[in-house]
Amino acid sequence: MLRSVFRCLGTNPVVGRRSMSQSSLAGKVAIVTASTDGIGLAAAQALGKRGAHVVVSSRRQANVDKAVALLQSHSIQVTGTTCNVGKAEDREKLLQTTLDQCGGVDILVSNAAVNPFFGNIMESTQDVWDKILSVNVTSAFLMTKLVVPHMVKRGGGNVVFVSSVAGYQPMQVSQSACIRIDARWRPALKDAASPSLQALSPYSVSKTALLGLTRALAPELAQDNIRVNCVAPGVIKTRFSSALWGNEDIVDEFKKQLSIKRIGEPEEVGGVIAFLCSEEASYITGETVTVTGGIGCRL
Ligand code: NAP
């Protein structure tokens, strides 16, 4: 009976069993930073559904509690703690909590990022650059440096950085599209003569740096059986990008670049992250997978 079911499905039981175990993350421990909302939470959910014990964190305890409750309601093994990735003591606490409660770490998804500035690159200040590069790039590296020795103890692991389509192509938003925009973007409108705005400039540069970090770390960590990959989402419906998808004019303009004519969902990125951490991706390292609905991404 079972054999005929598998025949109907065009598979056989042995192949089916193999692919299931390759996608499984049972017994693995995964730290996902900034994981109480959006893409981080979706990544935690995707990793947890594949059997990993996930460690979720963000700056606010209330958000951590909510995420833990949500993941537990999906029968996912989860530990929660607060962590602002920009603070060394918080990064160390995140690792220590993971080691104490889960006994080790196999996966790091470095997802946290900030963008305190919208506007032309020449109007950005050193404070803005320091903040963006420190949280988005330096903290991603320092978190990796903390966890790698513990991955080595387990015989290997996976690191996934979360970059952005903006890392390939700094986002430009026209003045006309900006007219009804969120107050956060208004300073960028100052220069009325400018036909377009590089609205996410220093942030874009930080996301380009993550593409480079992925390429640079992958060969170095391959000898320890650690794969290093990256995802570059397009516009995904989260709070972080609400200034974009909440504005119809920007969405219309943006859709012209898309093959799939809609904004992405966090789960569509979370699944790709879980895939990269699984045995199904065992021969992939140093790569960035773009999850953009078809925007051409090229440096
Ligand atoms: P989101 O839905 O707004 O979620 C942000 C999460 O980060 C929250 O859990 C927040 O919780 C936490 N967080 C913020 N600052 C933090 C910090 N310093 N340390 C630790 N946690 C922090 O954001 P998202 O859209 O999913 O963005 C996640 C990643 O995807 C970012 O790297 C972003 O650059 C990238 N990305 C997003 C898009 C998009 O369209 N959404 C596109 C490309 C790339 P607390 O407030 O409690 O800290």
Name the residue with higher pLDDT: 256 or 190.
Answer: 256
How far is the C-alpha of 152 from the C-alpha of 69, rounded, in Å? 31
User: Between 34 and 116, whose confidence is greater?
Assistant: 34
Give the atom of ligand 1 at the shortest distance from the alpha carbon of 37: 9
Q: Are 82 and 57 in contact (CB under 8 A)?
A: yes
- Position 15 scores a pLDDT of 44
Check residue 159 and give its pLDDT.
99
pLDDT at position 59 over 90: yes
Arithmetic mean of pLDDT, 281-299: 96
In the predicted model, is pLDDT for residue 39 greater than 50? yes
Q: Which of 74-88, 168-182, 239-253 has the highest mean pLDDT?
A: 74-88
168 is catalytic: no
The 3 state secondary structure assigned to 235-275 is: CECCCCCHHHHCCHHHHHHHHCCCCCCCCECHHHHHHHHHH
Q: How do residues 94-125 score in pLDDT, each as one tens digit? A: 999 999 999 999 999 999 999 988 888 888 99
pLDDT averaged over the chain? Answer: 89
Catalytic residue among 118, 203, 254, 275: 203
Q: What is the pLDDT of residue 18?
A: 46
Of 157-161, 190-194, 243-247, the range with the lowest mean pLDDT is 190-194
- Predicted confidence at residue 60, as pLDDT, reads 98
Place 1 in a pLDDT band, splitting at 50, 70 and 90.
very low
Q: How large is the average pLDDT for residues 37-49?
A: 98
Distance between Cα 34 and ligand 1 center (Å): 6
Ligand 1 centroid vs 15 CA: distance in angstroms?
38
Q: Which residues line ligand 1 (CB under 6 A)?
A: 33-34, 36-40, 58-60, 63, 83-86, 111-114, 135, 162, 164, 233, 235-236, 238-241
Choose from 18-32, 194-208, 263-277 the range with maximum mean pLDDT.
263-277
Q: How many residues does the chain have?
A: 299
Evaluate whether 201 touches 124 at the Cβ level (below 8 Å): yes
8 A C-beta contact, residue 54 and residue 131: no
Q: What is the pLDDT of residue 193?
A: 42
Helices (H), the chain: 2-8, 13-23, 38-49, 61-73, 88-102, 126-133, 139-153, 175-178, 201-222, 242-245, 248-255, 266-277
The per-residue pLDDT for range 129-146, each reduced to its tens digit, is 999 999 999 999 999 999
Question: pLDDT at position 147, please?
Answer: 98
What mean pLDDT do residues 154-176 have? Answer: 88
